[in-house]
Chain A
Amino acid sequence: MRFLLLLLLLLVLHPATEAAVGLVTVPERQGVRLTIYNGVDLTLVQETRTLVLRQGRNRIQYQWAGTLIDTTSLELRPLERQDDIEIIDALSPPHAPATLVWEIESKIEGAVRFEISYFTSGVAWTADYTMRADRDEATAMVEGWVGVDNRSGESYAHADIRLVVGTITLIERIRDLASGQVEERSKQLDRRAILRHGRDLLGKRAADKDGEADGVAMERTRKLAFDELEQAAEVVSARLADYHLFIIGGEQDLPDQATTRFLAIQTRQPMVLEVLYRVELAEQAQAIKLYRFVNDAEHKLPDGPLPDGPWHVFRVADPATSELSYQGLAAHEYTPPGQKVELELGVDPGVSVAQVHEQHCETDQHFDRRGHLDGWIAHDRWMLTMVDTRAFPLSLEYLIQAQGSWEVTNLTGERRDQYTWRHQDRLAAGDRLVLGTFTISTRMGVLAAADGLAKAVHLPVPLPLPAISPAH
C-alpha cells in the first residue's frame, strides 16, 4: 500500500513580521463530499475544514503525497464571511513537491469554515444489476447496485457521495496531472472555472433538494440519528445539467483499496417482462433470447436512468422452494427514463428455428442498345419455421437484412431502415410458426436506378422438379 500523507498546516503570518512564522493548528477534516464521474477517471473532492484565522495575512500550507490529486485543481474558499476574507495567492514552493501554500487576507479573527476542493483520480464507480424473473418469465424483480472502487491512495470516512452519470469532456487525464506529466500544459487551462461550475451545480442541487445551504446540509447529514440510517442509505436519483446524479444518503466510508456497493434501484413490485426472441435471416439461423422492458414507472422502476452495467439474470426454477436458475450475464447501454432495455441472454435451445433458402432465380433481364445485359431482378425465396418447445409464450422479432433496391413480398412487417425489414409475431406455448414462403426481390443494374422499369416485377412461380422416369 502506498504511503499516504495528507496534511494541512495553518501558518499565521503577521504583516509586520513576515519572518515570524508559527504553526497554529492542524485541523481535522470535518466533512467531505465526493462527486464521482463514470466513464472518465475523475472525482471532485470537496472537504470542509475549520481554520482559525488571525486578522491580516495568513498562510496555509497544504501537503499531500502518495495520492492522485490534480495539483492544478486545488482550490480553497471560505464558506462564511466571504466579504471579510480574500485568498490572494497560491504558491507551489520550489523543492517542495505535493505542497501548496495559500495566502489569505482576513479582516476578522477566529474560526472560519473553509472548503478545499480538488480533482482526484483513482476513484471509480460502476453499476451492476440483479434480475430475478418468475418461472413463467412474465414478471421480474430488479435490483440495481452502484459500486464505488477507491484506488486513490486516500481513505474517505463519513463521506457524502454523489455519482454522476454522463459523458464529460476531460482534456487531460487526472492521473497524468497528478503525476506531473502534463503540468506545464495544464497551467494554461481554466480548470478552476470548471471546478466552480461543478460546485455551483452541486450546491444548487443540494439546496433544491434539502432546502438548505450546501455546508449546512453536509453538516446535517453527519448528525443523522442511527435509526435513520436505513432511510438515509437510500440512493436518490436527480438531474445535474445534462447529466444525472445518484446521491447516496447518509455518510459512507470509502476505505482505500476497497469496493463498496450500494443498493440504488429496487423494484418494490414485480415488473412486467417481455420475452423476445430475435432471429436474423441467415443460413444458420438461431433465436437469441432477450428480456425486454421499459425503464419507466409503469414497469415499477424508479424515476431516473439506468447506467450501463452488467446484469446477472436469474429465473425462479421452482416456485415452491424459490430455487433459482442462472440465465446468464447480460449488458446494456445507458438507458434514460422511458427507453426500453434489452438484455441479451444468448441462444435458447428451448426454441428451435429453421430457415430454408428455397430458391434463387432471376427475372426481368434488361439489355442495353448494344444488347449487353445491364439489369435484372434477383428473387430469393425463404421460409422460416420456429417452434416454442417451452411452456411459455414468446415474442418474435424477425430481421431481414438486404442491400440495394429491394422489397419483401408475402411477409408482413415494416422497413426499419435502408437495409432492414422487421416482422414481429407472437407464439403461444408449444406453438409452431411458419413464415413464408416469402420473397426478397432485389433490382440489379439499371433496374435499381430506373424507378419506372423497377416496378415491372414479376414474382417467379417455382416449377416442381420433374418425376424420375424409367429409362427402358
Chain B
Amino acid sequence: MKPMLPTILSACLSLCCTCASAAVALTTLPDRERVMIRFEDSGQVLVEEARTLTLDKGTNQIGFTWLGVDIDRSSIQLLGAGGVGFNVIRATYPPGQENSLGWEVSATAAGAAQVRISYLLQGISRELSYRAVVSEGKDPRLSLRVYQRLNNASGENYDAAALRAAFGDLRDSPLASGEIRQQLSARFLEVPFTKRYIYDPAKGERVMVDYVLSNSADGKLGKGLLPGAKMRIFQQTGQSEAFLGEDVAKPTPLGEEMVLHIGDSKDLTVRRAQLETRQEVVQRDSDGHVVLWHQLTDMRFEVENFTGDEKRIELDEHLDGEWDVANPLQLLEKRIAPEKYEEAKGEADPAGTLERKDADNLVIHLTVPAGRRVVLTCTLRRLNRH
C-alpha cells in the first residue's frame, strides 16, 4: 500500500458573541458527511463537501484550512443547502497562511445549517480510454468499452465519494490518496462500423485504413458526446484476441462520425502518375503575352486489389484556386503476368465517382473488385490562372 500524504482538510466553526466581538470561541469541528467529486471534460475536478454547521444567531466565524493538498483558493464557495439560513458577509485570507480561509457569516437564527463547501482540487485526474474488439465473421461488429482511470495524487483521502463525470457512469467508491482506480464507465455492443481505405499523396505512398463509427442510434452509440481518448482495437480470433492498432479518437458529438486510423493496407496499392501539363490560353495582351490561362494536367491512377474481397477506396487530390475535371475514364484490368495486364472484358465494373469535397480537395471514389486493377485517367484543369 502506498504511503498516505499528510492531509488535514477541516472546517471549524467559531462563534462571535454580539457583546464581545473579540471573544472568539471554537465550538465544533464538523466532519464532512458526503463528498462529491466531479471530473469535468476540461480536466478540472470539482469537489463538493456536505457538512452540518451549528450556528448561533448573528455573526459566526467559519474557518476552513487544508494541508498537503492543492486547492484553487479563489474557487472555494460556501453555500447553504438547508436548515438555518445565513449570509456570507466576508471572506478573509489570513496573513502568511496560503492554505486557510475564514468566512464571516450572519445567521438568521441559532441552529444547524447544512452547507456545501466546493472547490477546485489539483492533483486528481481522470483519463479515458476505449477498448474495441472486432468480432469474427462476414459482418463484423465492434464491442466497445469505455474505461475511466481515476488517479488521486491530490494528497487527500476520500473514504467514500460520489463520483461524477460529464461522460459515462461512475460508481461511488473510496478514492484514497495515491490510489489509481479504473472503472468501466460505458459499454456498447454490436456496434457497426465501416472500413475506409484512403490514398492521400500528401501523406506518402500508402493506403491508410480507417475504422469509421457513427455516433448515432443507428450506429448503436448515440447516447451523447463521445469524449476524445485513446482507443485500442483488437480482433477476436477464436478464444483470443489480436491487436490491430490504436489511435486517439477526437471528441465526437452526437450525429458525427468517429474516425480511427489504425494502420496501412499492404494488399491495396495505388500508383499515381502526372502524365503531362500544358496551358490553354484564355487571353493575351497587346504584345502577345499570355495574361490569363487554364493549366491542364493529365493524370493516371492505377489501383490494384490483391485481396479476395471487393474494396472501396478514396483517392485524394489537393488543388487550389478554381478547378474542375475533364474526361474521366475508367478501365478494369486483370493481371496476366507480373506487371502485365489486360482489359477484364465482361466483368462487373462498378463506376467510380468524383466528389468535390471542398474548394481545395477532389475525392475520387473507386470500387476495385477482388484481384483486379482499376485504371483511371482524367485531366485536372486549374482555371483562370494569371
> Which one of B59, B90, B164, B353 lies within 8 Å of A323 (CB-CB)?
B164
Q: How far is the CB of A354 from chain B (nearest CB, A)?
A: 8
Chain A interface main SS type:
strand
> Which residues does chain A contribute within 8 Å of B353, judged by CB atoms?
467-468
Contact A351 to B356, CB < 8 A, known contacts A326-B46, A365-B292, A470-B329 = no
Q: How far is the CB of A223 from chain B (nearest CB, A)?
A: 14
B267 within 8 A of partner (CB): no
B 25-42 to A, binary, CB cutoff 8 A, 1 in contact else 0 = 000000000001010111
Complex Cα–Cα for A322 and B116 (A): 10
Complex Cα–Cα for A251 and B304 (A): 86
B247 within 8 A of partner (CB): no
> Which one of A226, A259, A328, A356 lies within 8 Å of B59 (CB-CB)?
A226
Complex Cα–Cα for A258 and B73 (A): 14
Complex Cα–Cα for A310 and B73 (A): 13
B205 within 8 A of partner (CB): no
B88 touches A387 (CB 8 A): no
Smallest CB-CB separation from B355: which chain A residue? Answer: A465
Q: How far is the CB of A448 from chain B (nearest CB, A)?
A: 16
A358 touches B164 (CB 8 A): no
Complex Cα–Cα for A432 and B255 (A): 10
B 42-67 to A, binary, CB cutoff 8 A, 1 in contact else 0 = 10101010000000001100000000
A461 within 8 A of partner (CB): no
B273 within 8 A of partner (CB): no
B 349-386 to A, binary, CB cutoff 8 A, 1 in contact else 0 = 10111111111101000000000000111100001101
Complex Cα–Cα for A463 and B331 (A): 25
B 268-280 to A, binary, CB cutoff 8 A, 1 in contact else 0 = 0000000000000
A 248-272 to B, binary, CB cutoff 8 A, 1 in contact else 0 = 0000100111111111000000000
Q: How far is the CB of A179 from chain B (nearest CB, A)?
A: 22
- Among A145, A432, A463, find the residue whose CB has the most chain B CB atoms closer than 10 A: A145
Q: How far is the CB of A386 from chain B (nearest CB, A)?
A: 10
Residues facing A in B190-204 (CB within 8 A) are none
A389 within 8 A of partner (CB): yes
A463 touches B324 (CB 8 A): yes
> Which one of A130, A227, A387 lies within 8 Å of B254 (CB-CB)?
A387
State the interface size on chain B (CB cutoff 8 A): 79
> Which residues does chain A contribute within 8 Å of B6, judged by CB atoms?
none
> Which one of A226, A312, A324, A361 lies within 8 Å of B38 (CB-CB)?
A324
B291 within 8 A of partner (CB): yes
B286 within 8 A of partner (CB): yes
> Which residues does chain A contribute within 8 Å of B286, judged by CB atoms?
369-371
Contact A317 to B164, CB < 8 A, known contacts A323-B48, A472-B343 = yes
B 133-163 to A, binary, CB cutoff 8 A, 1 in contact else 0 = 0000000000000000000000000000000
A359 touches B21 (CB 8 A): no
Contact A230 to B164, CB < 8 A, known contacts A371-B285, A471-B329 = no
Q: How far is the CB of A286 from chain B (nearest CB, A)?
A: 11
B81 within 8 A of partner (CB): yes
Contact A389 to B18, CB < 8 A, known contacts A325-B46, A328-B42 = no
Q: How far is the CB of A25 from chain B (nearest CB, A)?
A: 26
> Which residues does chain A contribute within 8 Å of B38, judged by CB atoms?
317, 323-326
Is the interface on chain A under 10, 10 to 19, 20 to 34, or 35 or more residues?
Answer: 35 or more
Complex Cα–Cα for A258 and B100 (A): 11
> Which one of A230, A233, A357, A465 lies within 8 Å of B324 (CB-CB)?
A465
B129 within 8 A of partner (CB): no
B19 within 8 A of partner (CB): yes
> Which residues does chain B contribute within 8 Å of A229, judged by CB atoms?
59, 89, 106
B386 touches A373 (CB 8 A): yes
B120 within 8 A of partner (CB): yes
Smallest CB-CB separation from B349: which chain A residue? Answer: A470
A262 touches B42 (CB 8 A): no
> Which residues does chain A contribute within 8 Å of B330, judged by CB atoms?
468-471
A468 touches B376 (CB 8 A): yes
> Which one of A310, A346, A350 lies within 8 Å of B225 (CB-CB)?
A350
A 335-377 to B, binary, CB cutoff 8 A, 1 in contact else 0 = 0000000000010011110001111111001010111110010
Complex Cα–Cα for A358 and B48 (A): 49
Smallest CB-CB separation from B354: which chain A residue? Answer: A465
Contact A233 to B349, CB < 8 A, known contacts A325-B38, A326-B44, A367-B291 = no
> Which residues does chain B contribute within 8 Å of A365, judged by CB atoms?
283, 292, 384
Complex Cα–Cα for A147 and B227 (A): 38
A380 within 8 A of partner (CB): yes
B94 within 8 A of partner (CB): yes
A–B Cβ pairs within 8 angstroms, 27 of them: A227-B58, A229-B59, A229-B89, A255-B95, A258-B93, A260-B91, A261-B91, A261-B92, A263-B87, A263-B90, A325-B40, A326-B75, A349-B253, A350-B224, A350-B253, A352-B255, A356-B357, A361-B383, A370-B285, A376-B384, A465-B355, A466-B325, A467-B353, A467-B354, A469-B328, A469-B330, A472-B343
4 further A-B pairs in the complex, CB-CB below 8 A; given A352-B254, A370-B287, A373-B291: A227-B18, A260-B93, A261-B91, A371-B284
- Mark B residues whose CB is within 8 Å of A: 18-19, 21, 36, 38, 40-42, 44, 46, 48, 58-59, 74-75, 77, 81, 87-96, 106, 116, 118, 120, 164, 166, 224-225, 227, 251, 253-256, 283-287, 291-292, 321-322, 324-331, 343, 345, 349, 351-360, 362, 375-378, 383-384, 386
